[in-house]
Amino acid sequence: MKIGIEAQRIFRKKRHGMDMVAVELIRNLQELDKVNSYFIFVNQVEDDTCISETANFSIIYLPPSPYPVWEQYFLPMAAKKLGLDILHCTSNTAPFWGSIPLVLTLHDIIYLEKLNLRAGTWYQRLGNLYRRWNVPAIVPRASRILTVSAYEQKRIQDHFDKEPPSKTVVVHNGVSGHFQQVLPNVQEEKRKKYGLPEKFMLFLGNTDPKKNLSGVLQALLHLDREQLMTMPLVMPDFGEEALRDLLDILNANQLRAKIHLTGYIPNSDLPAIYAKATLFLYPSLRESFGLPILEAMACGCPVITSNTSSMPEIAGEAAILVDPVDPKMIAMAIKQLLVNPLEREALIERGYTRPPLFSYRRGAENVLTIYRDIFNRTNGK
């Protein structure tokens, strides 16, 4: 088989969730499959250290261009020229045209459920508009749709109810191997590198409203009024201006002194930050998976997350589940872990049991089986 994998963003400097999922898929396929030929299509080339070419894996550098142009013109042209048997698009969208059997990883369909053109950055808004335009057109022509949780599978099947239910398959994300317990001296080294406080709570989010920073800040306000805000909140990858705007809206400017912004933290440094944190806050409004939940657990950090969408499926009984639209409930959960070290330790121990249930290797094995099935069906075998 000649298999193409769209991985246009994996060589950018600031890699995030979908990028790392694509990287792990490729890494595991490289270990599993030494026979078939793979072509990895990339766009921006800022940091190409995450994967390398092997005997049967070639990296194809398509002309740098805006994502829609890259995906709708350069990608299908290259796929046709190479005579691919399968094209796997890994980031929700795909080319409109082409006769090559398509595998689509549809991480979520949040942008089809609602669209708030005032929410998030302009980049996020334009991305959601593009997905809203692209996804309904490409789902019918995909040979197989992969998604990352049973929750999201149900959402996709309900939304695209004319498609056969068997078309959408769950391939869970996993946890990268470097997310594990970290030695205290390494934790301290990374703490000093980013100028972090001795003790802190951790929140990973961005300007996307679904990450629920507003709810977190309102919870911290409740703690502050009770004089229980005993340690600062560390927030990687968040800008000063965006934070101050939100604090102004919430009339919560007194919290600024208790929030530590770090800028972007590379994925390789995150395990030490998780391990050093007293607790990890992830009360998102909506997720298709919730990868940071497992990452934090693997590093020995207790997790507070939401009782909605996919998060209970991923966290199981190893996290404190809260209503993300109830700041008082979030505040109570934080207080619970700050004042009760025994409960915190019990949560850490339960957390270690969850990541082994989710494996990138098993996911890659499932994907390889899907490739073979599509190829055999297409070629009448």
Residue 62, domain extent: 2-174+359-378
pLDDT at 118: 54
Domains identified in the chain, total number: 2
Here the CATH number for the domain that contains residue 122 is 3.40.50.2000
What's the pLDDT tens digit per position in 2-58?
A: 999 999 989 988 777 889 999 999 999 999 999 999 999 999 788 888 999 999 999
∠ CA 163-167-171, rounded to 5°: 135
Residues 199 and 340 in one domain: yes
Residues 192 and 257 in one domain: yes
Average pLDDT, integer, range 146-154: 97
Break the chain down into helix, strand, coil percent, rounded to 5: 45, 15, 40
Residues 162 and 75 in one domain: yes
Question: In this structure, is residue 144 part of a structural domain?
Answer: yes
Residues 75 and 97 in one domain: yes
Question: In this structure, is residue 11 part of a structural domain?
Answer: yes
What's the pLDDT tens digit per position in 322-341?
A: 999 999 999 999 999 999 99
83-97, 223-237, 303-317: range with lowest mean pLDDT: 223-237
Residues 288 and 341 in one domain: yes
Question: In this structure, is residue 205 part of a structural domain?
Answer: yes
With 90 as the cut, is the pLDDT of residue 74 above it?
yes
Residues 130 and 257 in one domain: no
Mean of the per-residue pLDDT values of the chain:
93
Residues 366 and 343 in one domain: no
Residues 314 and 342 in one domain: yes
Residues 349 and 373 in one domain: no
With 80 as the cut, is the pLDDT of residue 342 above it?
yes
Residues 204 and 276 in one domain: yes
pLDDT at 300: 97
pLDDT at 119: 59
pLDDT at 45: 84
Average pLDDT, integer, range 272-298: 96
Question: In this structure, is residue 179 part of a structural domain?
Answer: no
pTM over 0.85: yes
Question: In this structure, is residue 229 part of a structural domain?
Answer: yes
With 60 as the cut, is the pLDDT of residue 275 above it?
yes
pLDDT at 232: 96
The percent of residues above 70 in pLDDT, for the chain, comes to 98
Residues 117 and 222 in one domain: no
Residues 133 and 188 in one domain: no
Question: In this structure, is residue 46 part of a structural domain?
Answer: yes
Question: In this structure, is residue 47 part of a structural domain?
Answer: yes
What's the pLDDT tens digit per position in 353-379?
A: 999 999 999 999 999 999 999 999 998
Question: In this structure, is residue 129 part of a structural domain?
Answer: yes
